[in-house]
Every structure is written in structure tokens, then in C-alpha cells.
Amino acid sequence: MKCGFDKELLTAWLNDQLTGEERASVDTHVAGCEDCRRELENSRRIWGLMDDIPSPEPPAGTLVRFNAMLDTYKDSVAADERAPGVWRKLRQLFILQPGFAVAYSLLLIVAGLGLGHWLGGSGGTAAAGGADKQQLAALTTQVSEMRELMMKSLLQNPSASERIKGISYTSEITKVDKSVIEALLTTLNDDPNVNVRLMTLEALTHYASNPAVRAGLVESIGQQESPLVQAAMADVMLNLQEKNAIKPLRKLLQQKNLNALVRNKVEAAIARLI
């Protein structure tokens, strides 16, 4: 039986938006109502977990760009006060667009890289470098082969964490062959753990230029039952602009028990792929 308690109060409890009286009423109610207690516990867990979603720092150079924009703007305001009407409009059109500041910063970076490349390329002896390079290439191949073996063996491990570690090895394998792709696709389709499947999907997207990977991904759409993987699949297909995915995505929509949010996402993906 469902209780008639105001569930919005349970949500407001999470972000500390209740008066002392309301908070006390929630606490008293959940102490005696099993359903509401479970609901609040689940919400609290997710609310707490959201705290761990990383917020990245703004990239280096953000402040420099802001200062450049502010200086340009100040100059334009000062010039505006002096300039006649037509010039004012032209300045607003061309100078004030932040895009110009972006283009300027990019130009500086490209020029810097070009200079570095030019200076770096002019030194060193070619013969000595050649032998070193060969040795390095041989070593790199050996390490890559070892990682491939490790990866395949970890993917068979009963622990989900170990399988995840196996998948993370793929980013360090330089040459991905057919057997690696097959191992990943099998994991994507058959692994019992939804997080492992999500991780595998992400790893596979790095090799999306390979036709076998694309075909495997499209085929896998119909095999996914978890809403999260289904949604991630729709994302990937849209990012890859994979038109072959339209058919299996449509088939997914025919499932009666498809999660409503996933349905929206799949419909939006199909609309953009057509």
C-alpha cells in the first residue's frame, strides 16, 4: 500500500531546503514508514554519489583570455565614445566578437608549435637516431603484445574490477588486431556487469574507424537490455553518424518495456541520423 506522505519533502530534505519543523516531520515519518525510508535512503545515496562526479578546472590560459577580452572591450568602449555613429557599428561587429580573441590565441599556439617543430627538426645526426629508433620500435611492439595477452586473460576473470582493468589495457595496445576486437565485442554483448559493458563500449569507440568494430557495435544494439547501455549506444551511434544503426534502433523502440527516457533519447538519435 502506498502512503500519502508528500514525497517532495523527501527530495527537499536532501538539499537542505526544509524548515526545522518540516525536517522534523520527515524524520518522524520515515522512522515509521518502510517505503519512504527506503526511498529517502536511495535518494541520499545518489545525492551523495553526485558529489564525487568530478568538476574539471577551467583550462590554463582562461584568465589570460578573459583579460585580453576585457582590455579589448575597454578600448572599444573608449573608442566608441570618440567615434562617429557608423564606425561605432563597425567596431561592434568586428572587434567585440569573442571569436576574434579565440582565433588570435589559436594563431599564437599554432605559430609557437611551428617554431618549435622548425627548431627541433634542424638538430641531431640521422644515422645514430635510426638504430635507436629501431630498438625502440621493437621494444614498443613487445610491450604492446604483452599488454594484449594481459588484456585477454583479464577479460576472462570472474571479478568485474579485473575485467575493467583488462579493458583499460586496450588504450595501451598500439596495434589492435581482429582477436582484440572480437574479445571486446564479446564482452560488450555477454558480460553480466553493466558497468563493464559501458566501459567496453567506450573502449570500442576509439576504434570506430575500423569497419568490423562499427558492424559489431550496430549488431550489439539489439542485444543490450540495460537502459544505460541502450542510451549510451544511441549516443555512440549519433556521434559516429552511423546510419546503419537506424534499423536496430527502430527495433529497440518496439520493445514495450523500454525505459521512457531511453525511448526519447533513441527517438532523438534516429531523427538526427536520418
200-259 binders of other proteins (CB under 8 A):
201-202, 205-206, 225-228, 231-232, 235-236, 238-239, 259
Choose between 33 and 96: whose C-beta lies nearer to other proteins.
Answer: 96
Find the binder of other proteins among 33, 83, 95, 96 (CB under 8 A).
Answer: 96
Contact call for residues 223 and 186 (beta carbons, < 8 A): no
Q: Is 50 in the site for other proteins (CB under 8 A)?
A: yes
- For residue 84, give the DSSP letter: -
Please identify, among the stretches 29-37, 120-128, 140-148, 264-272, the one whose residues bind other proteins according to the rule CB under 8 A.
264-272
Stretch that binds other proteins, among 113-121, 122-130, 137-145, 162-170 (CB under 8 A): 162-170
In angstroms, what CA-CA distances link 91 with 55, 80, 84, 102? 37, 8, 11, 17
CB closer to other proteins, 81 vs 177: 81
CB of residue 131 vs other proteins: minimum separation in angstroms?
Answer: 31
d(CA 127, CA 134): 11
Give me the least distance between CB of 246 and other proteins, in Å please.
16
> Are the CB atoms for 198 and 232 separated by under 8 Å?
yes
- Exposure string over 46-72, b if 16+ CB within 10 A, otherwise e: eeeeeeeeeeeeeeeeeeebeebeeeb
Reading the block at residue 254, the C-alpha cell is 518496439
Residue from 95, 173, 194, 246 in contact with other proteins (CB under 8 A)? 194
